[in-house]
């Protein structure tokens, strides 16, 4: 009985909020149009002053907030009632937060429904801290401020490709972007990060770039400094595959056939592109 009464009270409260919001909305429309509701269709709308427009927009925002609160309360009530049979409060809470995260990723990150559902689940698996939509929004904002200025960088797209980047250390990500900017054309950086998101979190990026370039010349002795830099820009994952192979611990030349097949393919591809696009390496 108590649960039924509480549910009824919530629904009643939500209803009052919606009614009050609707009434306030009608008043805003009436004032903005310069007359009473019945006269709105008869007289042309006047231009609002800046102060009047700001006041109307603020009141409209408040109306939307109240309507959203009412809708969320009703949704929570229905979800809780629907999951009550399992008596699993944790599941109900996680499901609600997951839905909120999905909604955030669609609205703010620009993800489609399938991507948002997948990323929300992966974020929960990585760290349920980011299953809280408010905390996720804070980290998303920080990441966007840190890397959003890179041409063609879309944080939503990056998170969709690699959800774990949402937990990146912002200081490290910013420092690594500066390293990339010093070596590569700024227009290349976004593509490199999309291909290898670990570029934002790597703690020894400068050293990895130098080591990978040396290793490329040990495979292809004819490669120049510009060639190796261009190869890294085309295949940034070499920084994490080629760079850590134990075969390079020996101070001898290395034949490409001695490398793992996945690394062979990347090396051969980037060198082929390097040869074809030699004119593009003037400003790597």
- Residue 265 within any structural domain of the chain: yes
Which structural domain, as residue segments, surrounds residue 138? 96-200
pLDDT digits (tens, 9 = 90+) for 23-55: 554 444 444 444 444 444 445 545 455 665 455
What pLDDT, on a 0 to 100 scale, did the predictor assign at position 39?
A: 45
**Shared-domain flag, residues 170 and 108:** yes
What pLDDT, on a 0 to 100 scale, did the predictor assign at position 49?
A: 58
**Shared-domain flag, residues 148 and 217:** no
**Shared-domain flag, residues 182 and 115:** yes
Question: Average pLDDT per run of 10 along the chain, which is 284 residues long?
Answer: 45 48 46 45 52 56 61 61 53 72 90 89 77 85 91 93 91 95 94 95 95 89 86 92 84 78 70 51 49
Q: Measured between alpha carbons, how far is 122 from 160 in angstroms, rounded to an integer?
A: 10
What pLDDT, on a 0 to 100 scale, did the predictor assign at position 263?
A: 78
Q: Please spell the DSSP secondary structure of the chain, one letter per residue.
A: -HHHHHHHHHHHHHHHHHHHHHHHHHHHHHHHHTS-GGGTTTSPPPPPPHHHHHHHHHHHHHHHHHHHHHHHHHHHHHHHHHHGGGT-HHHHHHHHHHHHHHHHHHHTT---HHHHHHHHHHHHHH-GGGGSHHHHHHHHHHHHHHHTTSTT--HHHHHHH-GGGGG--HHHHHHHHHHHHHHS-HHHHHHHHHH-GGGGT-TTHHHHHHHHHHHHHHH-TT--HHHHHHHHHH-GGGGTTGGG-GGGGSSS---GGGS-HHHHHHHHHHHHHHHHTGGGGGG-
**Shared-domain flag, residues 101 and 189:** yes
- Residue 91 within any structural domain of the chain: no
What pLDDT, on a 0 to 100 scale, did the predictor assign at position 120?
A: 85
Q: Measured between alpha carbons, how far is 187 from 153 in angstroms, rounded to an integer?
A: 10
Query: Tokens 């090396």 correspond to what residue?
Result: 267
What pLDDT, on a 0 to 100 scale, did the predictor assign at position 184?
A: 94
- Residue 190 within any structural domain of the chain: yes
**Shared-domain flag, residues 252 and 225:** yes
**Shared-domain flag, residues 103 and 62:** no
- Residue 122 within any structural domain of the chain: yes
**Shared-domain flag, residues 177 and 229:** no
Count of domains for the chain: 3
What percent of the chain has pLDDT above 90? 30
- Residue 221 within any structural domain of the chain: yes
Phi-psi region of 34 (alpha: psi -120 to 50; beta: other; left: phi over 0): left
Q: Which of 79, 108, 113, 109 is nearest to 7 (CA)?
A: 79
**Shared-domain flag, residues 209 and 183:** no
- Residue 90 within any structural domain of the chain: no
**Shared-domain flag, residues 157 and 223:** no
What pLDDT, on a 0 to 100 scale, did the predictor assign at position 142?
A: 92
- Residue 112 within any structural domain of the chain: yes
**Shared-domain flag, residues 167 and 236:** no
Q: Which domain-ending residue is among 183, 200, 217?
A: 200
What pLDDT, on a 0 to 100 scale, did the predictor assign at position 74?
A: 66
Query: Tokens 């909604």 correspond to what residue?
Result: 103
**Shared-domain flag, residues 268 and 180:** no
Q: Measured between alpha carbons, how far is 237 from 234 in angstroms, rounded to an integer?
A: 9
pLDDT digits (tens, 9 = 90+) for 169-219: 999 999 999 999 999 999 999 999 999 999 999 999 999 999 999 988 888
**Shared-domain flag, residues 193 and 100:** yes
Q: Which domain-ending residue is among 173, 200, 227?
A: 200
Looking at the whole model, is its pTM more than 0.85? Answer: no
Q: Measured between alpha carbons, how far is 148 from 108 in angstroms, rounded to an integer?
A: 13
């Amino acid at each position: 009985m108590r649960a039924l009464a509480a549910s009824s009270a919530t629904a009643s409260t939500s209803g009052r909020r919606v009614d009050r919001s609707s009434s306030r909305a009608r008043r805003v429309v009436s004032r903005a149009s310069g007359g009473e509701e019945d006269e709105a269709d008869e007289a042309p709308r006047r231009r609002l002053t800046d102060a009047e427009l700001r006041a109307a927009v603020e009141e409209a925002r408040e109306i939307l907030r109240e309507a959203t609160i009412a809708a969320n309360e009703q949704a929570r009530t229905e979800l809780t009632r629907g999951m009550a049979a399992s008596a699993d409060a944790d599941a109900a809470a996680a499901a609600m937060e997951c839905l909120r995260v999905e909604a955030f990723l669609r609205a703010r990150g620009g993800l489609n429904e399938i991507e948002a559902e997948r990323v929300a689940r992966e974020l929960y698996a990585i760290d349920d801290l980011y299953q809280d939509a408010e905390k996720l929004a804070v980290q998303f904002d920080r990441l966007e401020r840190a890397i959003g200025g890179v041409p063609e960088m879309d944080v939503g797209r990056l998170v969709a490709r690699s959800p774990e980047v949402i937990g990146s250390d912002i200081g490290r990500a910013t420092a690594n972007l500066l390293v990339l900017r010093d070596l590569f054309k700024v227009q290349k950086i976004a593509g490199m990060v999309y291909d290898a998101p670990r570029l934002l979190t790597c703690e020894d990026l400068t050293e990895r770039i130098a080591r990978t370039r040396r290793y490329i010349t040990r495979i292809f002795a004819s490669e120049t400094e510009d060639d190796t830099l261009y190869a890294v820009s085309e295949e940034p994952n070499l920084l994490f595959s080629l760079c850590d192979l134990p075969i390079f611990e020996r101070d001898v030349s290395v034949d490409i056939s001695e490398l793992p097949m996945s690394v062979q393919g990347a090396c051969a591809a980037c060198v082929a592109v390097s040869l074809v696009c030699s004119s593009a390496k003037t400003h790597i």
